[in-house]
Amino acid sequence: MENKTILSTKPHVVWLDVMRFVAMFTVVCCHCADPFNFYPGDVPPNITDIKFWGAAYGALLRPCVPLFVMITGALLLPTKGDASVFYKKRISRVLWPFLIWSVIYNLFPWITGLLGLSPDVILDFFPYSGEEATKQAFGVSMGYIAEIPFNFSLLDVHMWYIYLLIGLYLYLPIFSAWVEKASDKAKLWFLGVWAVTTLLPYYYEYVSPYLWGTCSWNSFGMLYYFAGFNGYLLLGHYLRKLDWPVSKILAIGIPMFLIGYAVTFFGFRHVTSLPDFTDEQLELFFTYNSLNVVMMTAPVFMLVKKVNVKSVSIQKALANLTLCGFGIYMIHYFFTSPCVILMRMIGIPLGLQIPLAAVVAFGISWAIVFAIYKVVGKNAKYIVG
């Protein structure tokens, strides 16, 4: 997700603050669905209902990450100035909070052991952290920390996005050189080819693992260079300039969203009904770079563009969210599962537990990051971005 440094180089756009709020809240909400889709411990009698709501919300919230990438494209394409200056400003602002919080997450099991807490508390915070994390051993935590340069662990799963974000930043000045010169027709051509690549996950699963030159010794097929999150970058850039009336957005966007949601929800339910499904199959219909998720994301982006916030106090709150947004992403994962447990304990109806848990987790995270800025001042950027 983008942080406040972007706003210092571009005119402030309120609807992008609204977009950031939508993306941030939906990603917190999405992580509150994890304890529904990955239920640790003894299976309760209402597990069928739990799984249903996990799938329903999990499918509904798939636009969360694509929206973040589209915001990046809308704000930063085309980039200006020297690439080295761009890299220094963007990557350094992301890198230090990422390293600090990755270490904190991975030390968490060991810290719980020092405090004499039950190993089960780790699963309460991170539902799919695994048996190794419950050992509460310093050596296990240090092993996870040693792997940070290479990948995230099961204790800080949400950090996968930061590896992606750094990669997008590295790629942006290169991609930007083409975007700056390309016509709208050329951009649409690129997006059309990218749309074809969003069908490939299903081809690989149901038809053949190889296509268009890929094989056991080559992973880079014909459309490889048009695939991935760079499509969302360009889509955000392109849709920012596209001005449709609300009536047209609703007429086209609602059917698009509903079709995309139906494929996502029923596909996920089908996979989870199989007796033995792989991790890859579990994520197949939730894949961000799939046509069904694109169909859900684009209408949301277009509709949020039309939001007109006139209240100065709300504008200030949204601007503060822009300031705190990266930090909220860093720390919110500590609170999502405990907030779901809280909702269960106080008897909130099952269908409302995920969004209400998200409200609490989001609020706590925002308050903590805001307090860090108040206490630390400008140096907070090294802690929370």
Helix (H, G, I), strand (E, B) or coil at 218: strand
Which residues, 6+ apart, have CB-to-CB distance to 29 below 8 Å? 57, 61, 64, 354, 355, 358
Show the domain range for 108. 4-384
Q: What is the DSSP letter of 44?
A: P
pLDDT of residue 9: 46
Predicted pLDDT at 42: 74
Question: Which tens digits make up the pLDDT trace of 28-80?
Answer: 999 999 999 887 667 888 899 999 999 999 999 999 999 999 999 999 999 88
pLDDT, tens digit (0-9, with 9 covering 90-100), for 313-369? 999 999 999 999 999 999 999 999 999 999 999 999 999 999 999 999 999 999 999
The torsion defined by the Cα of 156, 362, 299 and 8, in degrees rounded to 10, comes to -90
**Ramachandran angles phi, psi of 242, nearest 5°:** -85, 120
Q: Read off the tokens for 66.
A: 């694509």
How does DSSP classify residue 215?
B
| Orientation of helix 14-32 relative to helix 64-76, angle to 10° | 150
Q: Look at residue 349 in the predicted model and tell me its pLDDT.
A: 96
> Token match 């499509």: residue?
231
Q: Are the beta carbons of 4 and 75 closer than 8 angstroms?
A: no
Q: Enter the pTM of the model.
A: 0.92
Using an 8 Å Cβ cutoff, are 232 and 63 in contact?
A: no
Per residue of the chain (385 residues), what is the pLDDT tens digit?
Answer: 544 443 344 567 899 999 999 999 999 999 999 999 887 667 888 899 999 999 999 999 999 999 999 999 999 999 888 888 888 888 888 999 999 999 999 999 999 999 999 998 998 899 888 888 989 999 999 999 999 999 999 999 999 999 999 999 999 999 999 999 999 999 999 999 999 999 999 999 999 999 999 999 999 999 999 999 999 999 999 999 999 999 999 999 999 999 999 999 999 999 999 988 898 999 999 999 999 999 999 999 999 999 988 899 999 999 999 999 999 999 999 999 999 999 999 999 999 999 999 999 999 999 999 999 999 988 898 898 8
* Number of domains the chain contains: 1
Q: At what angle do helices 160-181 and 230-241 cross, to 10 degrees?
A: 50
Rounded Cα distance between 72 and 84, Å, is 18
So what's the pLDDT on residue 12? Answer: 74
Instruction: Please give the Cα distance from 229 to 141 (Å, whole number).
Output: 31
Q: Which amino acid is it at 211?
A: L
- Give me the sign of the Cα torsion angle 241, 58, 40, 346: positive
